[in-house]
Structure 1
Amino acid sequence: MTTEQSTAPAPEALTFKAEVQQVLHILAHSLYTDREIFLRELISNASDSLNRMQFEMLTNREVLDPEAELAIRVEADSEAKTITISDSGTGMTSDELVEHLGTIAQSSARAFVQQTQEGNKAAASEIIGQFGVGFYSVFMVADKVTVLSRSFRLEAEAALWESSGDATFQVGPGEREQRGTTITLQLKEDAAEFANSWRLEQIIKRHSDFVAFPIYSGDRQINQQKALWRRAPREVEAEQYQNLYRQLTLDADAPLLQLHLSTDVPVDMHSILFVPAKRERGLIERRIEGKVKLYSRKVLILEEAKDILPNYFRFVEGVVDSEDLPLNVSREAVQSAPVMQRIRKTLTSRLHRELNDLASQDAERFAAFWKEFGVFIKEGIATDYENRNELLKLLRFNSNRSSDELITLEQYKSRIVDGQTEIYYLLASSLEAGCTSPHLDPFTARGIEVLILHDIMDGFMLSGLRDYEGLKLRNVDEANLELPGSAEEAAPQVDDAAFARIAERAKAILGDKVKEVRASKLLRDSPARLVSDDDAMGREMQRIQQMLGREGEAAPRILELNPASGLIASLARRLESDADDTVTTAAIEQLYDNALLIEGLHQNPATMVPRIMKLLEAAARG
């Protein structure tokens, strides 16, 4: 097929926006790897136009060429060194050609330019489509591009767009009887290889084999067209799943897990869902949210069906196609359609089952999943009570007994000591801080396991996790813990009078920062800890505030000092010799700051440095 020549007056010359010119320069002069992606991008654009046309015709038959086949045609002319890509989609008017082909979102252009300026040119070619610059990839292979288009609107006239990839483009009247768009590429000398039908077919099979519309070369259809999700799982090879995943995501890594599901009841549905290998996908966007495309009877009705899965599964990628969704439903109404609730429930249930099967059958792969997406499962615990039991099975925790090994709540329950009726947990700023927390002293001495919650999402998770199979969850920083079992008591190194003096001195130094200073009944090795007699939810809400970037002053807590600590005994002796001893004052302030730091509550650790230097100087003097 050749492009019709316009006999209308000379087209108007226009200038590309500055950001478009930057992109064009990079594409035309800097990117040489993976140049074949230009065809993927043009076919993707054509498919989008056909999707829009198909949807338009569900409610409107007053369009140009209503009986025209929805298809894409690709032809090469090796002698003329041209490629022509045509579609019967919505087409464009003259104004739409200017709007769509003369402008790029500034944020997208900046991100693309930054990527290439950093020298990662191969990577830039992989993400061209992600930044809305896909059409301009034609200038990697073409010296001149002509776009002839006619809108589906009955009153619209054909329009012609031309550019040689420099600073300008031309738009004017064109001659085209049929609805749709034809793009003709005049290839560069070093891109002549693409002017061969076999080469184009090779590219289409690699990148566009599952496009939902037929792609023709002459009278022969090139692509498979039948969607993978409409096939029986036994008919689909692993490589085909990976190819579909790459087409949906442009992610070079293979997915961690795939779910291919076809059901008749309670809803007629065909779907393929993917769990990516990594939480962050893409080279610039670093996005963590997936997209699930929604089809109704093979018609794309939602590019991104946000409510088709619970929000905590928003990392999932894939496609869902249902015969039960009415074709004439509006895009706004589809989310609230009753069938959507059945689809959501079915998919959610199967995802839970697949993830629990993965956890029980392949610990290594599930550990990889938890590392990337565990934070989302914790969110689900707080937000989805209906599926709480399935989500509880997926939870994994560090503990003071498990080292780097993650344990389940079921494993914790199987290891409780005689008389233990609670699950103990410690909120910490990091795993390292949690493992060195003074709160662990009495638990280690009694052989009691403590879950170490060091993720900022843990405070939010605990709002939905108050108990597990009859065991209440209990924060180890509570002021009046009564622990099961027994432990050998550490002998006090100060008498009651000496301890009273240091406690009184500490309260005077710290003032309103602490509610009270008292002797600890549980500490063995650590000199001090902060405990709270407030409701546990208050401390967890404080962590949620941290997660939201709304940190405030921590509520005053109780400072417990350990009478059996050599450090506390030494400070008591210094006070006995000198009631105004400055080293003791600095040491008490430092003990309090240390406790805040371990709790993850210290807002400015740098303020400790002068005091630490003072204490070091005192230690050096002996």
Structure 2
Amino acid sequence: MTTEPLTETGRQSHTFKAEVQQVLYILAHSLYTDREIFLRELISNASDAINRVQFEMLTNREVRDPDLEPQITIEVNKEARTLSISDTGIGMTADEMVEHLGTIAQSAARAFVKQAGEGAKQTASEIIGQFGVGFYSVFMVADKVTVVSQSYRPDAPAAMWESSGGDSFTVGPATRERRGTTITLHLKEDATEFADPWRIEQIVRRHSNYVAFPIMLDGRQINARTAIWRKAPRDVTNDEYNGYYRQLTLDSQPPLSFIHISTDAPVDLHAILYIPSRRERGILERRIEGQIKLYSRKVLILEEAKDLLPAYFRFVEGVVDSEDLPLNVSRESVQSGTAGGSPVMQRLRKTLTGRLHKELNELAERDPEKYRTFWKEFGPFIKEGIATDYEHRNDLLKLLRVQTTKSGEEWITLATYKERMIPGQKEIYYLMAASRDAALSSPHLDPLRARDIEVILFTDLMDGFMLSGLREYDGLRLRNIDEGDLDLPGEVERPAPAINDEQFTALAERIAAILGDRLKEVRTSRVLRDSPARLVADEAAFGREMQRIQQVLGQEVQMGPRILELNPAHPLIAALAQRAASNPNDPLLKLAAEQLYDNALLIEGLHRDPAAMAPRILQLLELAAGVNTPQA
């Protein structure tokens, strides 16, 4: 941004940076719908300015006009084709105008230009405000904008900023009696609707009805002003809850559920917490973390209070207000949970967390379909909580949903699994795999299917993280069925071996030599029935759950040697044993051994390079078709 010399009026001209000019051009010429969003952005900025001065006054009484009432005023003039919005907020100096109104973060500008350029006639509400360009939305409706501001600093002179949305703006001295800012829009010919008081009132009610400060138009307050979270829940309609959620999040979809808390014990608390219907809040909004706004006695003290809820509830949106938070508490102490705010913050956190657990469990009972939607979107967060929050683990386990070998497409609770256990079963059995289909084809299921034992199928990468800290449920041990020493309830008839011990030993030794240090041992399986082989874990092996955590973190998976169990009753193993007996160096044995090993890794989701199997599979197909004979 370049600066020109002062003019005779004391005003100085500045040139916008190239990326800002691109943003302004798009706003003025390329966004055709929802132009009314500019007013939402200006009101939001005005509200923020008032919040900022109120927060400043908590610790600083040397503020210009300390008794000035918080208020936002809108004035329209049809004849002059102007719209003005004034606030009694913190105000700006000339230097602050250059900083705040003359620049946009370069990364944000680039992102905005990219998104706006990806499609024609995009909806302004989908992209305005996401990249820090909210103020500049005025150029969708105005061909000139004038800003006059008086800073809260007693010794700072008033200043004026003006631009026609081209490549430059000017800043200079101005006259203003009271603290605050007035933005005047000189409307374009096709934007005269925004000089109509009725139209302005409709926009305010739609987008800014619950702004905490009075919005005045023609001497009347046109917004509800009474914060929705300060009302009794019985006095708020579903439309009002949904409307406030849209204003809070800009999400076009209604929330899945919400909690409205209004109580004075054990802590004064007025809050609304929303559970969104999806992780990504809109077409272009990619964030998956919500924001909890924290108020102390109706004064916003923290835009994003991360410590008010456990980390695994970070998808929740909402607002929290408490009379018990001291007004002189600093934002830093609130966020870190230190100083005077600590006991109150702990009580707030405990109350909010408990209510969220209660609401989610009740949602599962009263509306299973909605809860399935919740689980699909936010299940990984609950699994994270099970792994990390021992204090609330029992509550979180009630929220856990799993699929099993008997559940089909349905999701069931661990309590339901326990109810369906067979007589004599004393453990909860689970299997980890890359996908549901892979799990259902796993050889590990052979002995459990034979006994009609239900098995939980864990196929999400977060499952490994959860299971690393979850060893039992309601007195029952969770047992991975890839372990080699399973002691299963019930007796089943074992199929008769198709080869003798000598033949099996010869094959086992040959496969062990082929696979080398990837295996600890090759042995006869006591449990396999329909599958030729399986890889089982050694007690001393690195935890399978931890291997999946490494995958989540993008780290190299360090796999220790496994035990390969072969089924001597399976026709494939019998045929390979016969080939090994007639020719221990038969090239087919190497192909088969490698493929059996890779198949086992693939099913478990631990294969590092599945594409590497392709040449070997082709060789096996050619051999089966009689095309050629593999070479040793």
TM over 0.5: yes
Consecutive unaligned residues in structure 2, runs of 5 or more: 1-5, 628-632
One-letter code of the match for 1:189?
Answer: E
Q: Provide the residue aligned with 2:278 in structure 1.
A: 278
One-letter code of the match for 1:539?
Answer: R
Which of 598, 606, 612 is the aligned partner of 1:607? 612
SS in 2 for 1:534: coil
One-letter code of the match for 1:239?
Answer: D
1:359 aligns to 2:364 (yes or no) = yes
Consecutive unaligned residues in structure 1, runs of 5 or more: 1-5
Instruction: Give the superposition deviation at 1:536.
Output: 7.8
Partner Cα separation in structure 2 for residue 355 and residue 120 of structure 1: 40
Partner Cα separation in structure 2 for residue 574 and residue 269 of structure 1: 77
Q: Greater shift after overlay, 73-82 or 177-186?
A: 177-186
Residue-by-residue CA offset, 1:510-568 (whole Å, 9 max, x unaligned): 00111111111111111111101235872211111111111233111111111111111
Partner Cα separation in structure 1 for residue 166 and residue 75 of structure 2: 26
One-letter code of the match for 1:552?
Answer: V
Matched-pair contact (CA < 8 Å) for 1:494–1:572 = yes
Q: 1:538 to 1:120 in 2, by over 3 A?
A: farther
Matched-pair contact (CA < 8 Å) for 1:123–1:283 = no
Partner Cα separation in structure 2 for residue 87 and residue 351 of structure 1: 37
Partner Cα separation in structure 1 for residue 143 and residue 443 of structure 2: 70
1:23 aligns to 2:23 (yes or no) = yes
1:573 aligns to 2:578 (yes or no) = yes
Q: Provide the residue aligned with 2:206 in structure 1.
A: 206
SS in 2 for 1:131: coil
Q: Greater shift after overlay, 144-153 or 99-108?
A: 99-108
One-letter code of the match for 1:319?
Answer: V
1:338 aligns to 2:343 (yes or no) = yes
Matched-pair contact (CA < 8 Å) for 1:428–1:452 = yes
One-letter code of the match for 1:296?
Answer: S
Q: 1:537 to 1:615 in 2, by over 3 A?
A: closer
Taking the TM superposition and a 5 Å limit, the aligned residue runs for 1:314-353 are 314-335=314-335, 336=337, 337-353=342-358
Taking the TM superposition and a 5 Å limit, the aligned residue runs for 1:39-50 are 39-50=39-50
1:56 aligns to 2:61 (yes or no) = no
Partner Cα separation in structure 1 for residue 127 and residue 150 of structure 2: 29
SS in 2 for 1:130: coil
Q: 1:360 to 1:444 in 2, by over 3 A?
A: same
Matched-pair contact (CA < 8 Å) for 2:38–2:134 = yes
Matched-pair contact (CA < 8 Å) for 1:8–1:173 = no
1:437 aligns to 2:442 (yes or no) = yes
Matched-pair contact (CA < 8 Å) for 2:506–2:577 = yes
1:119 aligns to 2:124 (yes or no) = no
Q: 1:124 to 1:496 in 2, by over 3 A?
A: farther
Partner Cα separation in structure 2 for residue 120 and residue 447 of structure 1: 58
Q: Provide the residue aligned with 1:229 in structure 2.
A: 229
Q: Provide the residue aligned with 1:494 in structure 2.
A: 499
1:85 aligns to 2:90 (yes or no) = no
1:258 aligns to 2:263 (yes or no) = no
Matched-pair contact (CA < 8 Å) for 1:545–1:551 = yes
Matched-pair contact (CA < 8 Å) for 1:34–1:122 = no
Instruction: Give the superposition deviation at 1:414.
Output: 0.8
Instruction: Give the superposition deviation at 1:613.
Output: 0.5
One-letter code of the match for 2:187?
Answer: L
Matched-pair contact (CA < 8 Å) for 2:542–2:560 = no
Instruction: Give the superposition deviation at 1:191.
Output: 0.4
1:485 aligns to 2:493 (yes or no) = no
Matched-pair contact (CA < 8 Å) for 1:127–1:250 = no
One-letter code of the match for 1:199?
Answer: R
Instruction: Give the superposition deviation at 1:433.
Output: 1.1
Instruction: Give the superposition deviation at 1:403.
Output: 1.5
SS in 1 for 2:97: helix
Partner Cα separation in structure 2 for residue 504 and residue 556 of structure 1: 16
Q: Provide the residue aligned with 1:527 in structure 2.
A: 532
Instruction: Give the superposition deviation at 1:122.
Output: 2.7
One-letter code of the match for 2:441?
Answer: T
Residue-by-residue CA offset, 1:437-461 (whole Å, 9 max, x unaligned): 1100100000111111111111111
Taking the TM superposition and a 5 Å limit, the aligned residue runs for 1:577-592 are 577-592=582-597
Q: Greater shift after overlay, 71-80 or 61-70?
A: 61-70
Matched-pair contact (CA < 8 Å) for 1:73–1:215 = yes
One-letter code of the match for 1:597?
Answer: L
Taking the TM superposition and a 5 Å limit, the aligned residue runs for 1:500-579 are 500-534=505-539, 538-579=543-584
Instruction: Give the superposition deviation at 1:428.
Output: 1.1
Q: 1:252 to 1:498 in 2, by over 3 A?
A: same
Count of paired positions:
617
Q: Provide the residue aligned with 2:105 in structure 1.
A: 105
Partner Cα separation in structure 2 for residue 585 and residue 368 of structure 1: 48
Partner Cα separation in structure 1 for residue 573 and residue 7 of structure 2: 97
Partner Cα separation in structure 1 for residue 498 and residue 590 of structure 2: 20
Q: Provide the residue aligned with 1:3 in structure 2.
A: none
Matched-pair contact (CA < 8 Å) for 1:463–1:537 = no
Matched-pair contact (CA < 8 Å) for 1:127–1:282 = no
Q: Provide the residue aligned with 1:301 in structure 2.
A: 301
Matched-pair contact (CA < 8 Å) for 1:8–1:174 = no
Partner Cα separation in structure 1 for residue 161 and residue 547 of structure 2: 58
SS in 1 for 2:129: helix
Matched-pair contact (CA < 8 Å) for 1:475–1:536 = no
Partner Cα separation in structure 1 for residue 107 and residue 462 of structure 2: 30
Matched-pair contact (CA < 8 Å) for 2:92–2:181 = yes
Q: Provide the residue aligned with 2:459 in structure 1.
A: 454
SS in 2 for 1:452: strand
Residue-by-residue CA offset, 1:104-154 (whole Å, 9 max, x unaligned): 112222221111111064344323112110000000000000011111001
One-letter code of the match for 1:209?
Answer: N
Residue-by-residue CA offset, 1:139-170 (whole Å, 9 max, x unaligned): 00000000111110011111111100011111
State the superposition RMSD in angstroms.
1.4
Q: 1:129 to 1:331 in 2, by over 3 A?
A: same
Q: Greater shift after overlay, 249-258 or 360-369?
A: 360-369
Matched-pair contact (CA < 8 Å) for 1:7–1:174 = no
SS in 1 for 2:28: helix
Instruction: Give the superposition deviation at 1:581.
Output: 1.0
One-letter code of the match for 1:479?
Answer: G
Partner Cα separation in structure 1 for residue 383 and residue 166 of structure 2: 52
Identity of aligned residues (%): 67
